[in-house]
Amino acid sequence: MDFSVNHPLIFIMTAVVLLVVAAQSVFFLVKAYRRGVEIGMEKSVLNATIKRSALFTIAPAVAIFIGLVSLVKMLGVAFPWLRLSVIGAVTYELPAAETAVSAMNLPSLTAETMTAQQFVTIAFVMTFGISLSLILAPITCKRITGGMLKIKKKDERWMDLFMASMFVGMLAAFLGYIVCDLGFVQTDAGIEFHYQLEYWIPVFVMFISAAIMCICGILLKKLNWKWLNDYALPLSMVGAMALAIPISILIS
Amino acid sequence: MDSQTYINKVHKWGRIWAVITSTCILAYPFILAIVFGAWPKASTTLYALGSVAITFWTVGFIEVLTYTPMLGVGGTYLGFVTGNLSSLKVPCALDSMDKAGVKADSEEGEVISTISIATSSIVTMAVIAIGVAFLSLIYDFLQSEALAPAFDNVLPALFGALGVVYLSRYFKIAILPICVMLVLFIFVPYLNSGMVGIMIPVSMIITLVYSRILYKKNKI
């Protein structure tokens, strides 16, 4: 069969996998919603969670789609569509694809020149190189959540702090990530010290987002705008992302 | 149905779905190879896989250990299939639980986390599908340099807003790990954006040990 990275069969295969994953999401959504009602949770709380999660997701999902666009020139549309809709993130998928290209001793690849064998090699590396958690999570989930239950039974207050510490630890690591292009940085030319304004852009965006969030909090309290509670986080994100554009122009 | 019976059912459903989805995802490259009659060279594939797996299997292993307690049972089975955990699903689930006023380790938390991750997964798939449908119309616009700074800064925008809420709430336990991470990422040249997956558990362990010490001394 003639090969193309955008062959209709690849689209059909992608659509089948996505439909299965979408069915799993709907299944868990329905089961959790029904359980919530069964244990006496207000429907308004459950509906608000759906609305809030949907709003929260839109900006990052658009960013994921931009990641997909960056893979299109190399891999076509169908396969990146699958990889970025399930399991993967562009931070995993792009290096995995590039590693496969380099293992084939090719300087670079484009969708137009790619052969079936090259494409299948990349598909194997991207699929199996990032598959451990897919297999490991169902094996370990019961044991890990059971262990958490034991900690909770022993000391509930510590359990609350344990969960808070896990999330705070994750946030602290991401704050580090935001400044990772500042200070001493390993480049192809060796170790450089970055202090120029252009490397501060992510830090400025972070502070702007935090500031918008604070303003929303003040408005919520002072003016009693309860509706803002659902929109504060997406507003802060989108506002800060939008302001990243003029900031970049100003700095450059 | 009591809580434990429900949780056991979720484990059962989760494992059944895990078999179905893992089979679909892992069979994909094999079907490609069969359909196009093109099998990869074993030596090339294994070499590339080894290079990728060293980093990403380590990150995957760490993610399973660290995110499972935060996501709950249903959220774990779903989140590890639909991906984008640290940049989307985990913050989304935690924000939803916070706004609903439920704890992650309660059954209400289990319900809210699962609803949140399921909704986020469906919306992500829908946004990407809409984008793909209109790709030819918006491709040039999305590739424009003017727009790049906005989408290069999704994580700073996300963690700035989340950070100010959670770090002010847990300031006492947050101050030490923040300082350590800032110093490490600024002064260790080897720590770049690709290392954040490895540094998350390091930061979590520092935070856990520090908060345990504060807790034992009755300071929090």
Strand partners, A192: A185
Q: How does DSSP assign chain A, residue by residue?
A: ----TT-HHHHHHHHHHHHHHHHHHHHHHHHHHHHHHHTT--HHHHHHHHHHHHHHHHHHHHHHHHHHHHHHHHHTTHHHHHHHHTT--HHHHHHHHHHHHHHTT-S---TTT--HHHHHHHHHHHHHHT-HHHHHHHHHHHHHHHHHHHHHHH-HHHHHHHHHHHHHHHHHHHHHHHTTTSEEEEETTEEEEE-SGGGGHHHHHHHHHHHHHHHHHHHHHHS--TTHHHHHHHHHHHHHHHHHHHHHHHH-
The answer for residues whose C-beta is within 8 angstroms of residue A52's C-beta and 6 or more apart is A230, B95, B96, B99, B116
- Lowest-pLDDT range, A132-146, A193-207, A233-247, B49-63? B49-63
More confident residue, A47 or B141: A47
- Using a CB–CB cutoff of 8 Å, tell me whether B207 touches chain A: yes
| CA–CA min distance A176, chain B (Å) | 5
For A193, phi and psi rounded to 5 degrees?
A: -105, 115
Q: Does A47 touch chain B (CB under 8 A)?
A: no
CB atoms within 10 A of CB A192: 13
B62 near A CB under 8 A: no
Q: What residues of chain A, 63 to 122, have a C-beta less than 8 Å from chain B? A: 63-66, 68-69, 72, 77, 81-82, 84-89, 91-92, 95-96, 99-100, 102-104, 115-117, 119-121
pLDDT mean over B196-203 = 88
A28:B33 CB<8 A: no
Q: What is the enclosing helix (H) or strand (E) of B5?
A: helix B3-36
Q: How long, in residues, is chain B?
A: 220
B111 in contact with chain A, both atoms CB, cutoff 8 A: yes
A75-84, A201-210, A221-230: range with lowest mean pLDDT: A221-230
**Which residue in the block uniquely carries the two structure tokens 């299948």?**
A120
Please, which pLDDT band fits residue B195 given cuts at 50, 70 and 90? confident
Q: What does the pLDDT read at residue A87?
A: 77
Q: What is the pLDDT of residue B210?
A: 96
pLDDT digits (tens, 9 = 90+) for A142-155: 999 888 888 888 88
**Predicted local distance difference test score (pLDDT) of residue B58:** 85
pLDDT of residue A81: 94
Task: Please report which confidence band the pLDDT of residue B87 belongs to, taking 50, 70 and 90 as the band edges.
Answer: confident
pLDDT over 80 (residue A12): yes
Question: Span B85-104, mean pLDDT?
Answer: 90
Residue A29 — pLDDT band, cuts 50, 70, 90?
A: very high
The pLDDT of residue A193 is above 90:
yes
Closest CA of chain B from A205, distance in Å: 6
CA of B27 vs chain A CAs: smallest distance (Å): 9
pLDDT at B16 over 80: yes
Residue B194: per-residue pLDDT: 77
CB contact under 8 Å between B132 and A69, yes or no, is no
Q: Is the pLDDT of residue B28 over 90?
A: yes
pLDDT tens by residue, B153-192? 988 999 999 899 888 889 999 999 999 999 999 999 988 8
Q: Which of A24, A181, A214 sits opposite B78 (nearest CB)?
A: A24
Q: What does the alpha-carbon distance between residue A182 and residue A180 come to, in Å, rounded to a whole number?
A: 5
d(CA A61, CA A84): 10
Measured CA to CA, the distance from residue A23 to residue B140 in angstroms comes to 33
pLDDT > 70: percent of chain A: 100
- Please give the interface size between A and B, counted as residue pairs whose CB atoms are below 8 Å apart: 543
What's the pLDDT at B204? 93
The answer to whether residue B112 neighbours chain A at the CB level (below 8 Å) is yes
Taken as a whole, chain A contains a residue count of 252
Distance CA A81, CA A70 (A): 11
Q: Which of A174-178, B68-72, B118-122 has the highest mean pLDDT?
A: B118-122
Q: Would you say the C-alpha torsion B14, B20, B22, B25 has a positive or negative sign?
A: negative
Q: Which of the 8 DSSP states describes residue B145?
A: T
In chain A, pLDDT over 90 holds for what percent of residues? 61
Q: Which residue, B130, B95, B10, B101, is CA-closest to A51?
A: B95
Which H or E element spans position B43? helix B42-82
B59-68 per-position pLDDT tens digit? 888 889 889 9
Question: For residue A240, what pLDDT band results from cuts at 50, 70 and 90?
Answer: very high
Helix (H, G, I), strand (E, B) or coil at B101: coil
Mean per-residue pLDDT, A24-35: 97
Question: What are the contacts of A156-159 at 24+ separation with CB within 8 A?
Answer: A157/B215, A158/B212, A158/B215, A159/B105
pLDDT in tens, A51-96: 999 999 998 899 889 888 888 888 999 999 999 988 777 777 878 8
- Comparing CA positions, the residue from A120, A12, A93 lying closest to residue B30 is A120
Q: For chain B, which residues make up each domain, given as ranges?
A: 1-133
Q: Does residue A161 carry a pLDDT above 80?
A: yes
Average pLDDT value for chain A: 90
A220 and B CB contact within 8 Å:
no
**pLDDT band with cut points at 50, 70 and 90 for residue A21:** very high
Of the pLDDT bands very low, low, confident and very high (cuts 50, 70, 90), residue A247 is: very high
- Higher-confidence residue of A88 and B6: namely B6
On average, the pLDDT of chain B sits at 91
Instruction: Give the ipTM.
Output: 0.87
Query: Is A165's CB within 8 Å of B17's CB?
Result: no
Residue-level pLDDT at A215: 95
pLDDT at A225 over 90: no
Gap between the Cα atoms of A74 and A94, Å rounded: 10
Q: Is B128 on the interface with A (CB under 8 A)?
A: yes
Task: Identify any residues that bridge with A183 across adjacent strands, giving them in sequence order.
Answer: A194
B73 to chain A, any CB pair closer than 8 A? The answer is: yes
| pLDDT reported for residue B185 | 95
User: What is the widest separation between alpha-carbon atoms in chain B?
Assistant: 66
